[in-house]
Amino acid sequence: MGFERICSVIYLYAILLVIFSSPAKVIAGDIVHDDDSAPKKPGCNNVFILVKVQTWVDGKEDAEFVGVGARFGPTIVSKEKNANQVHLTRSNPRDCCSPPKQKFAGDVVMVDRGNCKFTAKANFAEAAGASAVLIINNQKELYKMVCEPDETDLDIQIPAVLLPQDAGASLEKMLSNSSSVSVQLYSPRRPVVDIAEVFLWLMAVGTILCASYWSAWSAREAAIEQDRFLKDASDDLPDIKSGSGSNGVDINTTSAVLFVVIASCFLVVLYKLMSSWFLELLVVLFCIGGVEGLQTCLVAVLSSFRWFKHTARSFIKIPFFGAVSYLTLAVLPFCIAFAVLWAVYRNLSFAWIGQDILGIALIITVLQIVRVPNLKVGTVLLSCAFMYDIFWVFVSKKFFKESVMIVVARGDRSGEDGIPMLLKIPRLFDPWGGYSIIGFGDILLPGLLVTFALRYDWLAKKNLRGGYFLWAMLAYGLGLLITYVALNLMDGHGQPALLYIVPFTLGTFIMLGRKRGDLKTLWYRGEPERICPHVRLESPQEI
């Protein structure tokens, strides 16, 4: 293996490590669920809802904050036109754990969390004439306000909303610098399905579809070229690895397990070291991978046009990189400029487009290079990823007091909106805004199995219905759809997508293989028997 090959493999494994360690789920909301187990009771049985708090300073519209409504109190209006602007005032004492020293006369009162029950604060504020109470959390998350188990006969008639710590600091500044601050409380209903989720589903399925056909086409071309070589050369046959093209890297069972172990370690590093400077490092790494993926995809597409075939087949030798086509040199500056512009302007509202383009190109390139040689390796890889996803989303709470993967995905310690190893689309018709997101791992890992299915079908000359690719693709799409259904049913809870995708995809493949009698071949060989010498991969037993 030459220097260039060694460098490319090391680089590929580094990119894979970051992708595999990226949050492999869809995230919704930032509500902490420590109080979910609290029972409902009369006077304390509201459904938890997000609440918008719009502010006006001296009559001019100002910032808008998002809080969470309490389980007690009346229902907050859902339409903005039905919500009144009400004067905001500070409680004295600040925690409102004793009767306030002033009367509020219908004002919304702002109080600090702590020192007494949520319901006690609301009762004291209501008795003093408040129309609503805003409780400021002592942390930046949104906790759900519930009633204590020993509380009975609750009859709180004013709404209570908990706001995060940073929102409280902003309101405090408004009150100290202005003569008049008023607020408006309302809770617009979120649509059951946003069009962003549909587009994200299409992006994920389309990415695997493109990568699968490219990988299968490359494998078939490599097999045909190999057959021609074997036909022309009867002696001194070279040692050619089975099932891998000249640019392919096959995963084995050992590397599949190691990926999960090392990825877990890397995820913990992300969790412990997540900060603005560490996020900058991840952005640089993502840009490097995005440039590589984008130029690979562009060169492949442009090479199919006759105007670019000559430049694609003309090479120049560059130190440390070997032979590089003129087309690659022409495309590379554009790719670098694209990645740099995204990195500089990644916080703008439309930057998600550049992130998705770089991410899709990177995933397609990885799926073109990395290959699952047989179903055995695919089963080990996806099974390990299945357990990895469940552990770091759910089980890690017992060891770290919070979900490690969700914290990393949100970028809680970085000061920005999470790490860039995600595809995301803004929620277009959601009054709460935000993004629908999916981790690269949710596309890449199942995609390895789906691309393997299409390579096998093409080499075995199976039709679409009689092969495995169509059913694997449908299983992946259905598994991802179920993920979104579960996400909407459990609003606010992060969901590990592989929890749903892996059983659908892997289970469908194994059951079909067993039913058709191909399971042994799929499990060990990963390629069909040599029926036609021009449509199969080389088998090492026959060399």
Q: CB of 424 within 8 A of CB of 340?
A: no
Residue appearing with tokens 């809080």: 67
Strands (DSSP E) contained in 220-297 are 249-250
Selected catalytic residue, list 194, 389, 457, 518: 389
418: left (phi over 0), alpha (psi -120 to 50) or beta: left
Dist. CA 106–CA 87, nearest whole Å: 8
Q: d(Cα 477, Cα 479) in Å, to the nearest integer?
A: 5
Question: Could you please report the per-residue DSSP string of 281-320?
Answer: HHHHHHHHHHHHHHHHHHHHHHTTSHHHHHHHH-EEEETT
| Cα 321 from Cα 2, distance rounded (Å) | 10
Phi, psi of 250 (to 5 degrees): -85, 135
Determine the distance from the C-alpha atom of residue 404 to the mean position of all C-alpha atoms in its chain, rounded to a whole number.
14
Specify the DSSP class assigned to residue 540: G
3-state secondary structure of 39: coil
Catalytic (active site) residue 35:
no
Structure tokens at 252: 């084995």
For residue 36, give both structure tokens: 């979910």
- Whether the upstream peptide bond of residue 164 has omega within 30° of 0, thus cis, is no
Q: Which residues of 440-463 are buried (b: 16+ CB within 10 A; e: fewer)?
A: bbbbbbbbbbbbbbbbbbbbbebe
Is residue 151 within 8 A of residue 117, CB to CB? The reply is yes
Selected catalytic residue, list 107, 194, 442, 457: 442
Instruction: Name every residue whose Cβ is closer than 8 Å to that of residue 66 and which is 6 or more positions away in sequence.
Output: 50, 51, 52, 53, 142, 163, 167, 432
What is the C-alpha R_g of the chain? Answer: 28
Confirm whether 442 is a catalytic residue.
Answer: yes
Cα 208 from Cα 450, distance rounded (Å):
7
Active-site annotation, residues: 389, 442
